[in-house]
Amino acid sequence: MERPKIPVDLIRAKLAAEAEKATQRLEKAKDIFLGSLDTEIGATPFERVYQEDRVSLKYYRPQAAPRLKTPLLLVHALFNRETLLDLQPDRSVVQALLKEGIELYLVDWGSPGHKDRYLTLDDHLNGYLDNMVEFIHQRHRVSRVNLMGVCLGGTFGVIYAALYPEKVKNLITTVSPTHFNTDKGLLHIWLKEIDADRLVNAFGNLPGNLMNIALLLMNPARLLFDKYVGFLENIDNKEFVENFIRMEKWIFDSPDIPGETLRQLIKDLYQQNLLIKGEMRVGSRRVDLQKVTMPVLNIYGQYDHLVPPEACQRLTATVGSADTEDLCLDTGHVGIYVSARFQRELVPRIAAWLAERDC
Amino acid sequence: MELAPLPKSPEPLLAAWIKWTMDFWESLIHMGPSPGNRAGEMESFWDSALKMWQAFFSLLSEPETVAVLFEGIKTPSETLLRMAQAGWSGYFHLHQLWVEKEVGEWAPLETRGFENLDQDIFKICTETYEKDFRQLMNLSQAGLTRLSQECVNRAMDRFRHFQAAMAEFIYLLYLPLKKSLREMQDLGPEEIDLKDFKEFYRFWLRTLEGHYMTLFKSPEYTRTMSHTLEALEDFTLAKQELLADSLALLNIPSRWEMDELCREIYELKKQLKGLAKQVEKGPLPPDRSPGGGDGGEKG
């Protein structure tokens, strides 16, 4: 095969021009980095209204007149921080919900330490989460809350709603896996092969950084390479730099995961898929999805490589509720929460869906 | 001066040295003054010491004892020799395997899987280590420091095992990069505009991403990843064991002791929270015992 002729002169001229541009860019970047940068995350004002051990509850006052009688409780996953929902001022799910006049509570799972190694799913759901729901009931004199879960926080929400259907008015899941026996998501493939007992016995709590490495390895080309190329290309753009650092702060601030909870998550969900089969047990109780009788809105991303659509779609067909809706968005896992477009479109839709069911 | 020929066996040398030592001490004792009782006591002390020396050395002069003694002296050098032999046999084994791979297989270049050949080096190294060097790490230890030495050896062994697994894992991660770069080199001008660097970069990124996805979904990757993780787990445990050994000297509790303590606190707290909930709800019916909550599920 004849080798293509490489236009060396053109490439050289282009490189020279690029080098000139890069110098100017770096000059500007120097001023940006030496100046003050606003990289705060989770900046929306809140009140910490409930605390139990390491777990606490953040309360956000609505920015518009309250539109719903029932407050909304947001449950984030244990694997990373709830600040994802309030990453930057102009792209904050929290602020968008507040603007819709929704009274908001956000669970902060805190940072598990050595003492939390033996906490189980039972402790997280029948203990912390149930106590927080009870607290909101008493504070607002309501008998039920609206529950919205993020990623595995949504899976927690589904389990909680099945255990306590009388305490949940409406359930919203966002990119939440409930069917784990799929080979579409890498996490689903990998976790099937992991020996959970060995892992927990060796580490106790799973170090957050180990989880971070696993997440980075899901797409090394983008997450370890292209992301930083993009950063260098925009290094002279202050707003870009600020948002980039905010994202980095969030990504690499993953808490450790309590060992016994992780053991159960891997074994019961990722390896045996017990939840969707109706065979999962939390504490002494079986989780029966037929008991999820409240309205369910199930949102997931079409291009989600972490929680593929296959892992989310079966929920609405399995729960006992007659009022269910699936919403598949053309985005990935994190895009739902950080993309300006989805916040513009999705949050009003969620607010409208809740308002219709707030009687 | 003509030197006496060196004896072939070490026994006559030892006997000569023993005799010389005994003569020296005997003459030394009789050289000193002996006035009064105190000096006599001293003399008798030296006499009895000398008799002990004499008894000890006459025992040593017996050819059987000397033979046993020299046998003992020879042992460490034999151990060293064996260790060296193990090292050499490991090296030769590695070499042999390489030769078999490189020279033995006279297949044409195109039909030989270079990727597999590269990867085989990890298997060969691991095999060599397992076969020859690992035995040294697992040698039974003796004496007061036996446990500590075993801990050190175990940690070293696990660390090496983890390193080997990690090297293989990293190599696997490198393969898509290598493959994508090779593919980019083979691209024709009809497939991509070589003048547009950004397009070239985007094309390469997509290719790389595709190769990674293929790799990550392969059973080989999952197996290597699990193996690396298990090696890390083993090393972590061995390291903690080693650390616990040192911490014990400083009276600092080990991870396992802290685990036990945390479990006790966890159970007590859970029981207490259950009781508090019961109290809040009002008095218990007579047939229900307090506390315990749902009992919990511990893995």
pLDDT of residue B71: 62
Asked, for residue A207, whether it belongs to a domain, the answer is yes
Highest mean pLDDT (candidates A209-213, A303-307, A321-325, B38-42): A321-325
The continuous run of DSSP H or E covering A171 comes out as: strand A168-174
The catalytic residue among A151, A312, A328, A359 is: A151
CA R_g for chain B: 36
CA R_g for chain A: 22
Mean pLDDT of B166-181: 93
- What tokens were used for A232? 């260098």
Predicted confidence (pLDDT) at residue A56 exceeds the cutoff of 80: yes
B185 touches chain A (CB under 8 A): no
Considering only residues A18 and A239, tell me which one the structure prediction assigns the higher pLDDT: A239
- Gap between the Cα atoms of B233 and B239, Å rounded: 10
| Domain around A136 | 47-356
- What tokens were used for A68? 């719903």
DSSP E strand stretches across B37-182: none
Residues of A whose CB is below 8 A from B258 = 114
What single letter denotes the amino acid at residue A284? S
pLDDT band at B223 (very low <50, low <70, confident <90, very high): very high
Predicted confidence (pLDDT) at residue B166 exceeds the cutoff of 90: yes
- Gap between the Cα atoms of B58 and B253, Å rounded: 54
pLDDT band at A207 (very low <50, low <70, confident <90, very high): very high
Residue of A nearest to B180 (CA): A221
Quote the ipTM score.
Answer: 0.84
Nearest to A203 among B236, B263, B298 (CB): B236
Count of other CB atoms within 10 angstroms of residue B205: 16
pLDDT of residue A305: 87
- Gap between the Cα atoms of A156 and B148, Å rounded: 45
> At A53, phi and psi to the nearest 5?
55, -125
* A104-108 and A55-60 strand pairing: antiparallel
Predicted confidence (pLDDT) at residue A257 exceeds the cutoff of 90: yes
Residues of A whose CB is below 8 A from B188 = 1, 4
- Site of tokens 């903690």: B240
- Gap between the Cα atoms of A268 and A178, Å rounded: 11
Query: Which residue in A43, A111, A105 sits closest to A81, CA to CA?
Result: A111
B187 touches chain A (CB under 8 A): yes
A113 CB burial (10 A radius; 0-12, 13-18, 19+)? middle
Q: What does the DSSP assignment read for A300-351? A: EETT-SSS-HHHHTTHHHHSS-S-EEEEEESS-TTHHHH-HHHHHHHHHHHH
Mean pLDDT, chain A, as a whole number? Answer: 93
Asked, for residue A22, whether it belongs to a domain, the answer is no
Mean pLDDT of A244-266: 95
Contact A220 B262 (CB under 8 A): no
Mean pLDDT of B142-165: 89
Nearest to B222 among A7, A193, A202 (CB): A193
> At A79, phi and psi to the nearest 5?
-75, -25
Residue of A nearest to B174 (CA): A220
Task: Kindly report the nearest CA distance between residue A26 and chain B, in angstroms.
Answer: 19
- Gap between the Cα atoms of A74 and B69, Å rounded: 80
- What tokens were used for A197? 């007992």
B273 touches chain A (CB under 8 A): yes
pLDDT band at B293 (very low <50, low <70, confident <90, very high): very low
pLDDT band at B33 (very low <50, low <70, confident <90, very high): low
B281 touches chain A (CB under 8 A): no
pLDDT of residue B266: 96
- What tokens were used for B252? 């600092």
Nearest to B299 among A11, A260, A285 (CB): A260
Contact B216 A186 (CB under 8 A): yes
pLDDT band at B80 (very low <50, low <70, confident <90, very high): low
Residues of A whose CB is below 8 A from B260 = none
Using CA atoms, how far residue A332 sits from A348, B110, B282, in Å, is 20, 41, 49
Count of other CB atoms within 10 angstroms of residue A86: 26
Asked, for residue A316, whether it belongs to a domain, the answer is yes
Nearest to A4 among B194, B226, B233 (CB): B194
Contact A117 B259 (CB under 8 A): yes
Best to test chain B binding among A15, A126, A192, A193 (most B CBs inside 10 Å): A193
Q: What does the DSSP assignment read for B98-119? A: HHIIIII----GGGS-HHHHHH
What single letter denotes the amino acid at residue B262? C
pLDDT of residue B38: 54
- Gap between the Cα atoms of A320 and A318, Å rounded: 7
Considering only residues A19 and B255, tell me which one the structure prediction assigns the higher pLDDT: B255
Query: Which residue in A90, A122, A134, A128 sits closest to A107, CA to CA?
Result: A128
The continuous run of DSSP H or E covering A172 comes out as: strand A168-174
pLDDT of residue B40: 58
Q: Which residues pair with B196 in a beta bridge?
A: none
pLDDT of residue A39: 93
Task: For A4-42, give one letter per residue: b (16+ CB within 10 A) or e.
Answer: eeeeeeeeeeeeeeeeeeeeebeeebeebeeeeeebebb
Residue of A nearest to B263 (CA): A118
- Gap between the Cα atoms of A350 and A353, Å rounded: 5
Residues 6+ apart with CB under 8 A from B286: none
Contact A120 B297 (CB under 8 A): yes
Predicted confidence (pLDDT) at residue B114 exceeds the cutoff of 50: no
- Site of tokens 């006496």: B4
Provide, rounded to the nearest whole percent, the portion of chain A with pLDDT above 90: 81
Considering only residues A346 and A20, tell me which one the structure prediction assigns the higher pLDDT: A346
Asked, for residue A7, whether it belongs to a domain, the answer is no
Predicted confidence (pLDDT) at residue B101 exceeds the cutoff of 90: no
B174 touches chain A (CB under 8 A): no
> Long-range contacts made by residues B159-162, C-beta under 8 angstroms, separation at least 24?
B159/B235, B159/B238, B159/B239, B160/B129, B161/B231, B161/B234, B161/B235, B162/B228, B162/B231, B162/B232, B162/B234, B162/B235
- Gap between the Cα atoms of A225 and A48, Å rounded: 38
Predicted confidence (pLDDT) at residue B122 exceeds the cutoff of 50: yes
Asked if A64 contacts A315 with a C-beta cutoff of 8 angstroms, the reply is no
- Gap between the Cα atoms of B299 and B294, Å rounded: 15
- What tokens were used for A239? 């707003």
Nearest to B258 among A114, A225, A260 (CB): A114
- What tokens were used for B30? 């009789």
Best to test chain A binding among B236, B261, B297, B298 (most A CBs inside 10 Å): B297
Contact A114 B298 (CB under 8 A): no
B227 touches chain A (CB under 8 A): no
* A145-150 and A168-174 strand pairing: parallel
pTM: 0.76
Dump pLDDT digits (tens) for A30-50. Answer: 999 999 999 999 999 999 999
Mean pLDDT, chain B, as a whole number? Answer: 74
Find the range with the poorest average confidence among A35-39, A76-80, A330-334, B124-128: B124-128
**Distance in angstroms between the alpha carbons of the first and the last residue of chain A:** 73
pLDDT band at B110 (very low <50, low <70, confident <90, very high): very low
- Gap between the Cα atoms of A112 and A105, Å rounded: 21
Mean pLDDT of A313-324: 97
Nearest to A260 among B267, B273, B298 (CB): B298
Q: Is A219 left (phi over 0), alpha (psi -120 to 50) or beta?
A: beta
Task: Kindly report the nearest CA distance between residue B110 and chain A, in angstroms.
Answer: 17
Contact A1 B188 (CB under 8 A): yes
Predicted confidence (pLDDT) at residue B95 exceeds the cutoff of 70: no
- What tokens were used for A59? 């309360």
Residues 6+ apart with CB under 8 A from B21: B53, B57
Count of other CB atoms within 10 angstroms of residue A273: 18
When divided into structural domains, chain A yields a total of 1
Predicted confidence (pLDDT) at residue B267 exceeds the cutoff of 70: yes
B226 touches chain A (CB under 8 A): yes
Query: Which residue in A269, A122, A261, A126 sits closest to B296, CA to CA?
Result: A122
Task: For B166-186, give one letter per residue: b (16+ CB within 10 A) or e.
Answer: eebbebbbebbbebbeeebee
pLDDT of residue B295: 39
pLDDT of residue B113: 41
- What tokens were used for A184? 């579409």
Asked, for residue A96, whether it belongs to a domain, the answer is yes
Predicted confidence (pLDDT) at residue A309 exceeds the cutoff of 90: yes
Mean pLDDT of A144-172: 98
Residues 6+ apart with CB under 8 A from B195: A7, A10, A11, A14
Domain-wise residue ranges, chain B: 46-105, 114-251, 254-282
* A168-174 and A296-301 strand pairing: parallel
The continuous run of DSSP H or E covering B64 comes out as: helix B63-99
Provide, rounded to the nearest whole percent, the portion of chain B with pLDDT above 90: 31
A151 in active site: yes
